[in-house]
Structure 1
Amino acid sequence: MTPFGEKVRELRRKKSIALKDMAADLNVSSAYLSALEHGHRGRPSAGFVLQVCGYLGVIWDDAEELKQLAELSHPRVTIDTAGLSPNATLLANRLAQQIKSLDDQTILRLLEELQ
């Protein structure tokens, strides 16, 4: 699940909106919205993010957070280390190899370190 998908699902459920109803109202398929919520689709377009914000009644800071989450929600990331140090390339490769085995506590610790 991506950060954007998780947040959309949380907001949708708080408002007791069924996925199929939200999808129909946004003129997308239920399969697309489900895939977006579960991180099986790429980053949503800026226009779709605005549609979701309007539909869910998300404004100001919450809308900005949703936009930022969408930017950070590409499920398949490529890291270009050309021109960087060997250690940067090593870090990118190690992360790619081991990310599936990291627990949430370790991931949160790494995120804090990179902030």
Structure 2
Amino acid sequence: MYDSYEQSVIEWAHTYDGYSRIAGGPDHLWTQIEPLKRAYDQHGRVPEWAGVDLLRGWAFYIVRAHRHGGAWDSVFIEFPEMRSILDALRQHPAATSQDLPPASEL
């Protein structure tokens, strides 16, 4: 179903409960992360102003949407912004070791 890297990313993303940490439920969480997605769609990159919690919440939202959407394709195909989110977290100066996603597949 998933390759081992994708599975580790999905498991890591679920360690952050965006519903309780940012907003109470998927609709409220989307309201908070939608500006990130809009900026990503417009410029092709994660905005520099994105904080660690928003990035973690975005990754959490994506894996939940992926699962509830049937998970027919890879999360990286269905949500190409996921790799950029992971890279942004790896480079974020405020990210702790607990915030960091699994090591890159490369």
- Taking structure 1 as the reference length, the TM-score comes to 0.29
Determine which structure has the larger helix proportion and give its number: 1
Task: Tell me which of the two structures has the higher relative contact order, counting C-alpha pairs closer than 8 angstroms and 6 or more residues apart.
Answer: 2
